Structure 1
Amino acid sequence: MKANRPRIRLAGLALAAILMLSLTACGSKGSGAANGAAMDSTTEAYSPEASADSGTSAPLISPEATAESSRKIIYTASVEMESTDYDATRQGILDAVAAAGAYLQSSYQYGNAQDANRSSQYCVRVPVENYSALLTSLGETGNVLSQSESTDDITASYIDVEARLSALETQRDRLNQLADQAETTADLLEIESQLSDVQYQIESYTGQLRAMQDQVTYSTVDIYLNEVATLTPTGVTFADRLADAFFGGWQAFASLVQNVFLAVVYLLPLILVAAVIITLCVVLGRRRAKRRPRRPGPMPPVPPASGTGPEATYMDPAMDDRILMPDDSPNTDSGKPKPPQTGPKY
């Protein structure tokens, strides 16, 4: 047994070297083929003839134009629509999805019918052979505002994963043969450890291939539907644009009046409660004011007595009589009377 160990190890090293060379060769060949396929895909998918119809509801990219067994292309589209009859358009979209053999991966709806502001979003997975037919049917159910499409050529990645998976499967078969030929427990455990790692990588690459194949087989179409009162204007002349602007402004004004009225009605209970509270406060305040005794106001000034005050010292020149000041007296210092006052004394 000990003599066979070097042989088993040499065989294992040789097998590992062969697998490394095969992976390198497959990867280089896959990359070259994928690059050539990617160049062809870009040329056909974005040709002038395809972009000329970008304003219509027809598909911009046709899978039939690039349907080759050696190419793996993922098709994705996004369609934005509007309609004045939301229910009919929504049902038409669902019917078109069912007719194309597609299924809804996800859907979302919000808004209500009373306000006429409903919107829907759908993520549809459609078989690639019915991709163009579904886009054409969607253009007939409602007014298409915008439509965008894109392609993703994953041929290079797909071929690379396939090559790696094939090499790992070959390595797994060889390890199984070595496990059958192992003569010691240590060699068997080492081979089984390598076999477990290889099996894990095989499952990982297998899952990647399945995911890529699912994306290639089923295209993804995102649909957005909005409910509107009037469709988006499509007039190109000045008169059409003027008429659309007038009616649009009038509708906006009517909507504003309605919203203001609804706001007043919405706040009406609060306004009534506030009015009742203010009225009660005013009534109670008046009652309290009536019950309180009135305080006496300030006393009016007492007029000065006659013969006093500044005006009593004024003498009118026209008067002949002498007006004596309060401090005047008939007594004199030298027995002589004082001369009369000829002017006001302050």
Structure 2
Amino acid sequence: MKKRSLKAISLLLAALLLGGCAGRSGAGPRDVPAEYVRNEGSFSGEAEMADTTGTKAFAAESQTMAEENKPMLPAGRKLIRTVSLNLETDAFDTLISGLEAKVLELGGYIEQSDMGGNSLYSSGDPGPRYASITARIPADHVNGFLTAVESNTNVTNRSESTQDVTLQYSDLESRKKSLEIEQEKMWEFLEKAESVDTVITIQQRLSEIRYQLESMESQLRLYDNQVDYSTVTLYIREVTIFSPTSQDSAGTRIKKGLEDNLRTFKNGAVSFVVILITTIPFWLPVLALAGAVIFLQRRRRKKSSASLPASKEKEEAPKAPES
């Protein structure tokens, strides 16, 4: 009897063990672990997480990794420098060509250029000519470029501003890093996912992350360009007399007065010669006609003066006595 009881107990324990193993083998799905199973609402905001415990764990893990990988503020500040100058010049063409050559020499480029007006030294109606040039200059060479411009022109106004985008740049990099970490996690989930719904949801989230990353990279490139290349806007006007920017001494004023008078006389002489040459078809026939009239009048006067003494001699000659 004891042997039979022992056999019955053994068979019962074996049955219980087999039932427990079978229950564990079919307890749940095998496609994605419960810690990171997320349904469509976890990405699109239309539903809630499938597993609350897994959601909290994943959120805490993502936040921890984002804080660990958050970049520190860069040693160099991210500064966007913008300079605007109002200039006067009496050598318009020389200045424009010199500015373009200087910008290329420093490794910059002309972003925009507008010109108009008439030359003050042309035969048409007086100008003045003007130009608006927006140049992008490497930040390291801006001061040298401005010095060259100011030494060759008369600066009537200068304004400058500097925008510090260090915090915006750092924040953008931090968010970009967090998205990259999330993207890597999504790829891991996608490799382990077996249900179609989970695959579709993860792919949708990956598309959203890719779009956000591209937008952030574009904004970072824009910041880099604005920081590396300062913007210098030049408003140039052609003049014959420079506007005073400061009180000059008596000697300087006398010198400038003489130069202005000489320049005015030179411009007047040039304008007179131009007008004289361009109006030849009008005044040359009149001048020829006037010369012909004067010549004929002189000739008549000579003939009349020559005949007048002869008549006088005949009148004054003594008459012969009558017999």
TM category (shorter chain) comes to 0.5 to 0.7
Q: 2:234 aligns with which of 223, 241, 251?
A: 223
Q: CA deviation at 1:149?
A: 1.8
User: Is 2:187 aligned against 1:176?
Assistant: yes
Percent of aligned pairs sharing the same letter: 28
Match of 1:152 in 2: 163
Choose 92-101 or 229-238, whichever is displaced more.
Answer: 229-238
Give the distance between the partners of 1:190 and 1:176, measured in 2 at CA: 12
**Alignment deviations for residues 12-65 of structure 1 (CA, whole Å, 9 cap, x no partner):** 5532343245557877x86xx5xxxxxxxxxxxxxxxxxxxxxxxxxxxxxxxx
Deviation per CA, 1:87-123: give whole Å up to 9, x if none: 1222222222122211100011110113230000000
Q: Spell out the pairing of 1:36-75 with structure 2 (5 A cutoff).
A: 69-75=75-81
Matches within 5 A, 1:256-271: none
1:2 aligns with 2:8: no
Cα-to-partner distance string for 1:271-305 (whole Å, 9 max, x where unaligned) = xxxxxxxxxxxxxxxxxxxxxxxxxxxxxxxxxxx
Letter in 2 for 1:107: S
CA displacement, residues 286-345 of structure 1 (integer Å, 9 cap, x when unaligned): xxxxxxxxxxxxxxxxxxxxxxxxxxxxxxxxxxxxxxxxxxxxxxxxxxxxxxxxxxxx
Shift in CA distance, 128/69, structure 1 to aligned 2, threshold 3 Å: farther
How far apart are 1:231 and its partner, in Å? 1.0
Q: d(CA) in 1 for partners of 2:76 and 2:255?
A: 55
Could you tell me how far apart the structure 1 residues matched to 2:220 and 2:129 are?
40
Structure number with greater CO (CA < 8 Å, separation at least 6) is: 2
Q: Given that residues 69 and 177 in structure 2 are in contact (C-alpha distance below 8 angstroms), is that contact kept between their aligned partners in structure 1?
A: no
**Partner of 1:91 in structure 2?**
97
Higher gyration radius (CA): 1
Residue 123 of structure 1 aligns to a residue whose secondary structure is strand
Give CA-to-partner distance per residue, 1:219-260, whole Å, 9 cap, x none. 100011100121113444589889989x89xx9xxx9xx9xx
Alignment-derived partner of residue 15 in structure 1: 58
When the two chains are superposed, the root-mean-square deviation of aligned CA atoms in Å is: 3.3
**Deviation of 1:81 (Å):** 1.0
**2:116 paired residue number:** 110
Equivalents in 2 of 1:166, 1:192: separation in Å? 19
Higher-helix-fraction structure: 2
Assess if the C-alpha contact under 8 Å between 1:74 and 1:216 holds in 2. yes
Q: Secondary structure at the match of 2:218?
A: helix
Q: Secondary structure at the match of 1:101?
A: coil
1:230-309 matched pairs, under 5 angstroms = 230-233=241-244, 234-236=246-248
Distance (whole Å) between structure 1 residues aligned to residue 148 and residue 183 of structure 2:
49
Unaligned runs of 5+ in 1: 34-67, 259-346
**Structure 2-normalised TM-score?**
0.58
Amino acid at match of 2:85: V
Gaps of 5+ in 2: 1-27, 39-50, 272-323
Q: Secondary structure at the match of 2:133?
A: strand
Q: Distance in 2 between matches of 1:100 and 1:145?
A: 25
Paired residues, number: 215
Question: Equivalent residue for 1:200?
Answer: 211
Contact 1:100 1:133 in 2 (8 A): no
Distance 1:127 1:237 in 2: 38
Residue type of the alignment partner of 1:136: T
